[in-house]
Amino acid sequence: MEIRNPEHVLVEITPDELLGEVMKFKNLKLRLSQICCAYSNEKVELSYSFANDDTNEYTNLRLVIDKDTEVCSITEFYPYAFLYENEMKELFGVNIQMINLDYNQKLYRLKDETPFIK
């Protein structure tokens, strides 16, 4: 068995570029493998990871935004992203617009609103 360790690519983008970049990856038949959210220094960092299962290559899209910045949902391209997006909304307060299956702050039973940005 050949073990391949390809380079991973990180592309920093703006919220306005997100849907266009995601559409490119969908057309290339890349798999959305995860979306990660982190809060640091009054900013929210979103990382979208796409995998090429034939080459084991990963491409990561990274957005660094203010808490009130609107971000479009990618559920039109990757329907299962609704879980990641609902989680980012509830735990970090990310302003994600047009999620196909929006739980409206009811995905988790939380004592505190947006607990991961305190």
pLDDT tens column, 10-63: 999 999 999 999 999 999 999 999 999 999 999 999 999 999 988 888 999 999
Q: What domains are defined for the chain?
A: 8-111 (3.30.460.80)
Q: CA 37, CA 58: separation in Å to the nearest integer?
A: 17
Phi, psi of 39 (to 5 degrees): -120, 125
pLDDT beyond 80 at 68: yes
Task: Mention every residue, 6+ apart, whose C-beta is less than 8 A from residue 9.
Answer: 57, 58, 59, 60
> pTM for the complete prediction?
0.87
- Cβ atoms of 70 and 19 within 8 Å: the answer is no
